[in-house]
């Protein structure tokens, strides 16, 4: 308990030492169009030997795309298994939630796609949706079920799961309501989970092994359906909902960024991690901010 209290205190002091965030000059820029339903943005730092690139999913078209600033969009993977959320692990390998294939996958350095998890207690996963990866390699992902996948469910609950680097899969939460976006605090000690049915955000305390405790409702009254979530270096929480709603670590609404399309997910990127990329229906957007995203977890 003492270690956990100290970590919260250090996080609070770090946040106080950072300058106040300025939302007055926010500009939303559309950088790519022509998709059916974009999701799962994730930044690959220094990817391809350059300044990095963004990957994102187009779920109905069953593709994962790659966006390189200054170069545009290309298809990274066809037949993506209905990929939704994406993230890069500590080795720079792409990990994806394949909703239609009902698995969590990883793309190797040679381009092969391998299954990390597809069953729990002998039953197929529902439809892995979104994920967050901690520095120690622990993967936290949500497993709701939307649309046709809900008719063929084998698990009697919608889950939030933890996957260890050794492949051990444990459940953090079993619910009759569908979890969606997931994110970690800057120090990796708090797990945030959006619930689309309840329209709220829950928080869980994580220990060094990734065990969760202290479940609590942190944010309610969200405008629209909460989907993807991310955090910045101050611990603020960004929620894709009716717009992009920004909350303090305590759950207080700070600002809402209005969008031309309803956003589904978001990710910090560019070499300085001060660009917020937003996937919103048919398009990909970016927003320059005066704060860095939370990209290093302990």
Per-residue pLDDT tens digits for 38-85: 999 999 987 555 689 999 999 999 999 999 999 999 999 999 999 999
Per the structure block, which two tokens stand in for 121? Answer: 């207690």
Break the chain down into helix, strand, coil percent, rounded to 5: 10, 50, 45
What is the pLDDT at residue 241?
98
Q: What is the pLDDT of residues 148-157, one digit of tens each?
A: 777 789 999 9
Percent of the chain exceeding pLDDT 90 equals 86
User: pTM for the complete prediction?
Assistant: 0.91
d(CA 66, CA 4): 38
Task: Look at residue 8 and tell me whether its pLDDT is greater than 80.
Answer: no
Whether pLDDT at 227 is above 70: yes
Q: Which residues contact 209 (CB under 8 A, 6 or more apart)?
A: none
Of the candidates 287, 237, 283, 290, the residue with the CA atom closest to the CA atom of residue 263: 283
Report whether pLDDT(110) > 50. Answer: yes
Comparing 15-19, 222-226, 248-252, 279-283, the range with the smallest average pLDDT is 15-19
Res. 214: pLDDT tops 50: yes
**Distance, CA of 53 to CA of 42 (rounded, Å):** 9
Q: Where are the chain's structural domains? A: 37-229
Compute CA 286 distance to the chain's CA centroid, rounded to the nearest angstrom. 16
What is the token pair recorded at 103? 């698995």
Fold of 37-229: Neuraminidase (2.120.10)
CA 243 vs CA 144, 255, 259, 266: distances in Å: 22, 10, 6, 11
| pLDDT at 9 (0 to 100) | 45
Give the pLDDT confidence score for residue 47 in this predicted structure. Answer: 58
């Amino acid at each position: 308990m003492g270690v956990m209290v100290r970590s919260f205190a250090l996080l609070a002091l770090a946040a106080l030492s950072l300058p106040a965030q300025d939302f007055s000059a926010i500009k939303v820029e559309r950088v790519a169009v022509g998709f059916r339903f974009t999701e799962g943005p994730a930044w690959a730092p220094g990817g391809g030997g350059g300044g990095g690139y963004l990957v994102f999913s187009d779920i109905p078209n069953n593709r994962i795309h790659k966006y390189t600033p200054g170069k545009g969009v290309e298809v990274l993977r066809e037949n993506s298994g209905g990929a939704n959320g994406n993230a890069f692990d500590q080795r720079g390998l792409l990990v994806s939630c394949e909703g239609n294939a009902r698995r969590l996958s990883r793309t190797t350095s040679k381009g092969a796609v391998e299954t990390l998890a597809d069953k729990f207690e002998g039953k197929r996963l529902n439809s892995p949706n979104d994920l967050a990866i901690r520095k120690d390699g622990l993967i936290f992902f949500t497993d709701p079920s939307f649309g046709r996948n809900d008719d063929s469910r084998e698990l009697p609950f919608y889950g939030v799961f933890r996957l260890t680097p050794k492949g051990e899969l444990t459940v953090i939460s079993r619910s009759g309501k569908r979890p969606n976006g997931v994110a970690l605090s800057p120090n990796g000690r708090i797990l945030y989970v959006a619930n689309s049915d309840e329209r709220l955000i829950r928080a869980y305390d994580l220990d060094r092994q990734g065990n969760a405790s202290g479940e609590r409702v942190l944010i309610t009254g969200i405008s629209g359906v909460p989907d993807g979530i991310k955090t910045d270096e101050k611990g603020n929480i960004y929620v894709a909902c009716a717009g992009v709603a920004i909350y303090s670590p305590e759950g207080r609404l700070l600002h809402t960024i209005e969008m031309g399309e309803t956003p589904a997910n978001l990710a910090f990127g560019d070499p300085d991690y001060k660009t917020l990329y937003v996937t919103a229906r048919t398009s990909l957007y970016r927003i320059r901010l005066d704060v860095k995203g939370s990209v290093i977890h302990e």
